[in-house]
Structures are given as structure tokens and as C-alpha cells.
Structure 1
């Protein structure tokens, strides 16, 4: 029976239907991800928590940072009680509100430019619209990457300083985060209550994208 099981596992590995070496490494590093339903429930819970924290809007960066740290603890099978989440929220609000307020102002200016470009009032409307959308994508990337890098010890200034090198070292990951943001906007636009699941997925992407196996192999090489 043991030989038959070994042969079956070997055939599954060759065909790609069985677990790969990367799968095993990921499971070892993130034991909390072994339960798909457990992870789904935690993602939805984080979505609810981030949505609550982000009601004033300017607190969104703090909510995402705390949510990402909560999911990271859960995936690593560390203590992921809600007490730690609220501790992170309190710490992230210091400086995080300033980041959120600046982000709201920048997003409002870019959205206004895009709206004016669509009306034809501005000369070179398509160029202005392109710059506006590119600016919004850049703003999202900065918020997501800084939120993933934030720790109480590093603070928001240190997290923001780490953004350029993080994006330069992982251009594909930047694309994944932009796609996640677009997904969150689309599903929320389709049905507003889905913002909870969307925010949970955003927090998961902030944690998972830098840790994906392809990136890990590249760093090791």
C-alpha cells in the first residue's frame, strides 16, 4: 500500500494535480492557511473590522494596516485574538490619520481632473484623464504597500520610505495589487455590501502578494 501511495503521489506531482514543493513550503510557513474555510471566515471578519475602522474614511490606512497584521498573525498560527487587532488600530491611527487625510485630498483632486477631462473643458483631455487614473493607481499602491510594511516600531514614515524599493523589487506584485484594488471597486460598485468582502480580500492581498512562491524563489536566487 505504501508503494502504491508513493507512486500515486509521484504521478500527481508530475501531472501538477498534487501538492508541489512550493505548496509544501507555503504550508510550512503559513499553517493557518491549511483550513480554507477558516481562512475565508477570517478574511470576512477582517473585512468587517476594516470597514468599521474606516467609516471616517481618513482612517482607512490604519484599518488596512491593522487588518493585514491580523491576517499575517492568523496565517502564521500566532495569537490572532481581536485584542491585538485593536492594539494595532490604536497605534496605526497615530500618523495614519494624516496619511489618510492627505490621500483623500490627492484622490479628490485626481478625480476632479478626470471628471473635467471627460467633459471636454480641459485641453488635452485624454492626457489629463490618463494622468489622473495613473495617479490614482499610484496612490493605491503606496497605501497598500505602506499598510503592509507598517509596524508599531517602524511607524508610517518608515513604512512610506520603504515603498519605492518594495515596488522596484516587485513590479509584478504592484500589478497584482492594482488589480485587487480594481476588483474591490468593481464589486462594491455592483453591490455596496460586498465592500466588506472586498476589504478583506484587499488585506489578504497586501499580505499574500509579497509572500507568493514566485517572489520567494526570486529572492532566494
Structure 2
């Protein structure tokens, strides 16, 4: 909201010529975010749930997709009971475990390349290390974006196909997601238990980044069919 619009809203509320500030808040796009403390608590709760579901590692995509949908329901003041989270987990596991297994294999290969590059055992080590880190960043970005696009109706294949278009439509958003991944990696490296709030922050970023106000974008350039968040 611009300053002029905000001033007009305050004037309308004060003079009675328009809706009160509370009424305007009630029609907010994300009424679930009205309470910062409540949102923080929900992020921590979903971080715990994602961590629990992700214990086998290969289930991380399913856990992230379910967590993203849960936070999306919470922010829009939809039914965000945990029963819907577990329903999404069950639906996302079918293809999500295959994506998770493939991601683990690719990540291990890239980490091995980075380790060998640092040891000096490979010629052109610095270049190989750069390629390895870039590959890990691309893998994280693709995983986060696909998790945000997944829905029980469309499935993982449609989500993966939509990833390139979503990234092209919002390169700045991709940078924000990469920054979130870097932040999560750093805090987890410093103190492993912080992986729980880090996972919750990742899920929140996946929801919030595509919805942020963007100059010159009245509507999204690319629309992704997500279906009913409770389905």
C-alpha cells in the first residue's frame, strides 16, 4: 500500500466516510499474518513437522510441500488444522520420495566433487568447486520452487515442469529463495538444532516470495494451478 493510499484509508476511518482500520484488516489478503507472534509460532510448529517427516531425508520434498500448503492455509485464514498437513504428506510421498532420492544422489555427487576440488586431487579444482556449489544452489532452488507449486491435483510432474517458467517469471524471487537456503545452511552449520526453525523459515519463504508486491506486476505473468489448498 502506498503512503497516499494509507493516508486516505486513515482519513476515511477517522471521518467515518470509509471502512475502519479493523474492517480493512479483516479484508486483508493474508489475515493469518495479522498476529506476528501467532505466525512465528506456526512457523516453528511447521518446522518441527517438516523435520520429523524429513528424517529419512528422501521425504524432504513431500514434507516441504505439505508444510508450504499448511502455511498458505494459515495465512489465508483457511482451515489449517494439522489433519490437512498429514493428508498432504500422504499425497506428496508417492512422487516426492523419488524426487528426494534423486536429489540426494545428485547432492552427494556434487559434494564429493567439491571435496575433491578442495583436496587438490583434481586439475582445475577451483573451477570444479564453483560448478559444484552452483549445482547445489540450482538443486535447492528447483526443490523449493517445485515444493511450492505442488498440489494433490496436479502432482509432482506438473510442478517440476512449471519450475523453469516460474523462475524465468521471477528471477528476483529466485535470488530470495537462494538467500533463504544460504541462511538456513549457515544457521544449521553453526548449531544443528536450529534446523527446525530454519525449515519453517524456508517453508514461509516459499509461500511469501511469490506473493510479495512487485513493481510493474499487476498480476502474475505465469499462473500455476494449485487447486483447493484443503484438497
Aligned to 2:217: 218
Question: Which structure 2 residues correspond to residues 9-28 of structure 1 after superposition, within 5 A?
Answer: 9=10, 28=28
Question: Which structure 2 residues correspond to residues 1-221 of structure 1 after superposition, within 5 A?
Answer: 9=10, 28-214=28-214, 217-220=216-219
Question: How many residues were matched structurally?
Answer: 202
Q: Sort the Cα spacing of 1:26 and 1:197 in 2 relative to 1 into closer, same or farther, 3 A.
A: farther
Deviations 1:172-193 (Å, cap 9, x if unpaired)?
Answer: 0000000000100111111111
Question: Does the Cα contact within 8 Å between 1:26 and 1:213 map onto a contact in 2?
Answer: no
Deviations 1:36-65 (Å, cap 9, x if unpaired)?
Answer: 011000000000000000000000000000
Q: Sort the Cα spacing of 1:26 and 1:146 in 2 relative to 1 into closer, same or farther, 3 A.
A: farther
Aligned to 1:13: none
Aligned to 2:17: none
Which structure has greater helix proportion? 1
Q: Sort the Cα spacing of 1:140 and 1:27 in 2 relative to 1 into closer, same or farther, 3 A.
A: farther
Residue 220 of structure 1 deviates from its aligned partner by 3.3
Residue 25 of structure 1 deviates from its aligned partner by 8.9
Distance 1:57 1:121 in 2: 30
Q: Sort the Cα spacing of 1:27 and 1:49 in 2 relative to 1 into closer, same or farther, 3 A.
A: farther
TM-score normalized with structure 2 length: 0.83
Q: CA RMSD in A?
A: 2.0
TM-score normalized with structure 1 length: 0.87
Question: Does the Cα contact within 8 Å between 1:62 and 1:93 map onto a contact in 2?
Answer: yes
Structure 2 unaligned regions, length at least 5? 1-6, 12-23, 221-231
